[in-house]
Structure 1
Amino acid sequence: MTKKMVIMLIIVGVIFGGIFGYMGFRSYMMKKYMSAGGTPTVTVSATTAVMEEWQPQISAVGTLRALRGVDVANEIAGLVQSVNFKSGDNVKAGRLLVQLNADADIAQLQTLTAARDLSKTVYERNKKQFLAQAVSRASLEADAADLKVKQAQVAQQEAQVIKKTIRAPFAGRLGISSVNPGQYLNAGEKIVTLQALDSIYIDFYLPQQELSRIAVGQAVVAGTDTYPNKKFNGRISAVSPKVDLQTRNVQIEAVLANSRHELLPGMYATIKVQSGKPERYLTIPRAAVTFNPYGETVYIVEEKGQSQAGKPSLAVRQAFVTLGPARGDQVAILKGIKEHERVVTSGQLKLKHGSPVVINNAAPPSNDPHPAPRDP
């Protein structure tokens, strides 16, 4: 019995010795940690929240359409006599494009013209004889009717000859054509596309709730991935009077300046409609916001006394914020921080409320309201 008690006392002594030893070691390490400065200082980048003017915008994606565009075609069938353009030419209105063989039509026109002239001569002669009561009124009226028929036949044949000459209906750029001299064209066959490009339409759709913010004449700015660093200005030219029953969207048409013909029909473009008067918002970089399931937060940099070197000692305070609209790399803050407060823009993953920090803005995150893609 005495032996068992001794063993138990030894075991209990070892256990308590371990506990007290661990507590003493932890106390020693805590003192050493505190003497070394406590929580380690985190290097972050930071920026100041400032009030900036924002232009309210409505964004959409649209499709470009030529101000005037048509597939030039022949109205009547015929054999191609000459092709008077090259693919891709810029042409003026009335420029001769294709001449169909019209020899037979011209010969027929000459025949009809001669018949008309003869009919006119007969009518003029019988008119004088009628005044001299040498011919009857019925005979004169028959001559007049015959002259009108001959004149109509000439006019019809002239139109037939004119249709053998295909001209550009308006100024623009020609597309690619495979029509060649000697080729027979059926009526209505496409010869070449013609697109007017000095200005260009962009068609886009907006939800019906945006109608109150849209009006003809409003300024728009469009951009394409083809020219990522260039913006194209224009204005709304028309608003559809009908809302689509399926999508509840309304079609909007705007006209963009395109003097260098960089925009082409069929391209898509992003478009921003300048809507309403500019507003002022407290603005910070998006990178400063930490998104969590329980809300959005930022780390605000505050001074906490002075360091041993005599410089201000900085620490962070975590604060919930209410976000407003966003533009580019920036976001508006409606509630949660004040103007001129500094917020952390990088290094948040290492922070917690009260963490000491040092600021290094050697490589701050982007803070561009209108960022553009850059070449790698």
Structure 2
Amino acid sequence: MTMKRLTGKRMTIMLICVGSLLGTLIGFNLYKAHMIKKFMMRDGMAAATVTSAVVSYQTWQPQFSATGSLRAVRGVDVTTEVAGLVRELEFSSGEEVKAGQVLLRLNADSDRAQLASLKAAADLSQTVYTRDKAQYDIQAISKAQLDADTAELKSRRAQVEQQAALVAKKTIRAPFAGRVGITTVNPGQYINPGDAIVTLQVVDPIYVDFHLPQEQLAQLEAGQHVSVNTSTFASLSFGGQVRAINPRVDSTTRNVQIEAVLDNHERKLLPGMYANVKIDVGSEQRYLTLPQTAIAHNAYGATVFVIRRREQKNAHGKTMPVAQQVFVTPGPTRGDQVAILRGLDEGAQVVTSGQLKLQNGTPLIINNRVLPADSPAPTPQEE
């Protein structure tokens, strides 16, 4: 009995010790959680540094965008119809030429000699015809003889015209006024029919060809304003108008070709360049806008962090703004900007960078010394 009582007493003491230990651990954890909560309530979460922007209305002109190619109003590679030896060049590379101006002369000495011979034969035929006509008038020769003389005269004259045309082809002229390119042809060089002598381009005005989806065809018409920019002159915009719309939609791409004409009096744009084209369509629209960097996308939609002013102060007696996440409905974009259709009001202040470290209630330090891009017409930046 004594042994059993001793064992029971030991078990009781052990259970009391174990219970005390468990109670101490539970109490310590509860105290720890209480102190952490108290600390968080006292000092709050760590503040995050962000940039901000105020939501405001802007007037946008709806536009269609496309990439096109510049083409000369008139452009041709000047060639020759006949073979020959180049005698002289009458132009300098890159200069402006007038319509009909001589560009190149081929050696035509033998052709001119042949032309002179044919003219002499034609003159003789004319003399024979005149004499026989007088003979025929006095019934000295037959009508058949006069007819033969007439045919001979016409044949000789046709040969003269043919040879004169051949001689004229040995002088190459500009088919229209424009700017010539760089030529590699030199005097003394033999060229064949079809060989390119020099390119001739009319660059003012200039065409831009581009394509748009058939879904946008209903909003297109001749006369609409277009603006064009190129990487060559990134800071410049060239204006023009839609000149023509192809009456046929490409059955493969379902795109329609558009032709616009641009003012190019400074001769900066050249045929063959690619260009970014924007067409104004419809009337101007007013949108609430933000930099696109302010929008965050997740599985539930698009969100922004709105900056709110809270009433309570932190341990240092300062009232700090806090972040509040709200859902928005974004609309069209223009450059670095995006339109907000629903979810925000004019004048609201939103976070534009630094969102990854935010959650609802995060205190904010606003530093707008370096702001994200917010241009309606950004240009490429190269380092």
- For the aligned pair, the TM-score class normalised by the smaller chain equals over 0.9
Alignment match, 2:193: 187
CA distance change for structure 1 residues 329 and 202 in 2, over 3 Å: closer, same or farther? same
Q: Distance in 2 between matches of 1:145 and 1:257?
A: 57
Deviation track 1:148-176 (CA, whole Å, cap 9, x = no partner) reads 11111111111000000111212223233
> Among 224, 227, 233, which residue is 2:230 paired with?
224
Alignment match, 2:3: none
Q: Is the 8 A contact 1:127 1:140 kept in 2?
A: yes
Alignment match, 1:20: 27
Following TM superposition, by how much is the alpha carbon of 1:218 offset from its aligned partner in structure 2, in angstroms?
Answer: 1.3
1:9 aligns with 2:16: yes
Alignment match, 1:345: 352
Alignment match, 2:279: 273
> Among 148, 155, 173, which residue is 1:149 paired with?
155
Q: Distance in 2 between matches of 1:217 and 1:27?
A: 74
Alignment match, 1:35: 42
Of 206-215 and 256-265, the range deviating more from structure 2: 256-265
1:333 aligns with 2:333: no
1:303 aligns with 2:294: no
Following TM superposition, by how much is the alpha carbon of 1:55 offset from its aligned partner in structure 2, in angstroms?
Answer: 0.6
Alignment match, 1:357: 364
3-state SS, counterpart of residue 78 of structure 2: strand
Alignment match, 2:103: 97
Report runs of 4+ in structure 1 exceeding 4 Å deviation. 306-313
Aligned identity (percent) is 49
CA distance change for structure 1 residues 91 and 127 in 2, over 3 Å: closer, same or farther? same
Partner amino acid for 2:47?
A: T
Partner amino acid for 1:172?
A: G
Alignment match, 2:259: 253
Q: Is the 8 A contact 1:220 1:235 kept in 2?
A: yes
Deviation track 1:230-278 (CA, whole Å, cap 9, x = no partner) reads 2122221111111111111111111222223322222211111111111
Following TM superposition, by how much is the alpha carbon of 1:311 offset from its aligned partner in structure 2, in angstroms?
Answer: 8.0
Give the TM-score, by structure 1 length.
Answer: 0.92
Deviation track 1:120-158 (CA, whole Å, cap 9, x = no partner) reads 223233333433444433333322222211111111111
Alignment match, 1:176: 182
Following TM superposition, by how much is the alpha carbon of 1:181 offset from its aligned partner in structure 2, in angstroms?
Answer: 1.8
Q: Distance in 2 between matches of 1:161 and 1:77?
A: 12
Q: Distance in 2 between matches of 1:125 and 1:58?
A: 78
Following TM superposition, by how much is the alpha carbon of 1:336 offset from its aligned partner in structure 2, in angstroms?
Answer: 0.7
Alignment match, 1:70: 76
Following TM superposition, by how much is the alpha carbon of 1:192 offset from its aligned partner in structure 2, in angstroms?
Answer: 1.9
Deviation track 1:57-98 (CA, whole Å, cap 9, x = no partner) reads 111111222221111111011111122233333322222222
Unaligned runs of 5+ in 2: 1-6
Q: Distance in 2 between matches of 1:190 and 1:44?
A: 63
Q: Is the 8 A contact 1:51 1:283 kept in 2?
A: yes
Alignment match, 2:242: 236
Q: Distance in 2 between matches of 1:84 and 1:295?
A: 69
Aligned length: 375
Q: Distance in 2 between matches of 1:359 and 1:259?
A: 48
3-state SS, counterpart of residue 226 of structure 1: coil
Q: Is the 8 A contact 1:229 1:373 kept in 2?
A: no
> Among 302, 317, 323, which residue is 2:324 paired with?
317
Following TM superposition, by how much is the alpha carbon of 1:307 offset from its aligned partner in structure 2, in angstroms?
Answer: 5.0
3-state SS, counterpart of residue 197 of structure 2: strand
Give the TM-score, by structure 2 length.
Answer: 0.91
Q: Is the 8 A contact 1:290 1:296 kept in 2?
A: yes
Partner amino acid for 1:207?
A: P
Q: Distance in 2 between matches of 1:50 and 1:172?
A: 50
CA distance change for structure 1 residues 128 and 358 in 2, over 3 Å: closer, same or farther? same
Q: Distance in 2 between matches of 1:123 and 1:70?
A: 46
Following TM superposition, by how much is the alpha carbon of 1:220 offset from its aligned partner in structure 2, in angstroms?
Answer: 1.1
Following TM superposition, by how much is the alpha carbon of 1:310 offset from its aligned partner in structure 2, in angstroms?
Answer: 9.2
Following TM superposition, by how much is the alpha carbon of 1:117 offset from its aligned partner in structure 2, in angstroms?
Answer: 1.7
Unaligned runs of 5+ in 1: none
> Among 152, 164, 169, which residue is 1:163 paired with?
169
Q: Distance in 1 between matches of 2:126 and 2:352?
A: 94
3-state SS, counterpart of residue 233 of structure 1: strand
Deviation track 1:345-366 (CA, whole Å, cap 9, x = no partner) reads 1222222223333433222222
Alignment match, 2:4: none
Following TM superposition, by how much is the alpha carbon of 1:314 offset from its aligned partner in structure 2, in angstroms?
Answer: 2.8
Partner amino acid for 1:223?
A: N
Q: Distance in 2 between matches of 1:5 and 1:195?
A: 110
Q: Distance in 1 between matches of 2:358 and 2:269?
A: 48
Partner amino acid for 1:6?
A: I
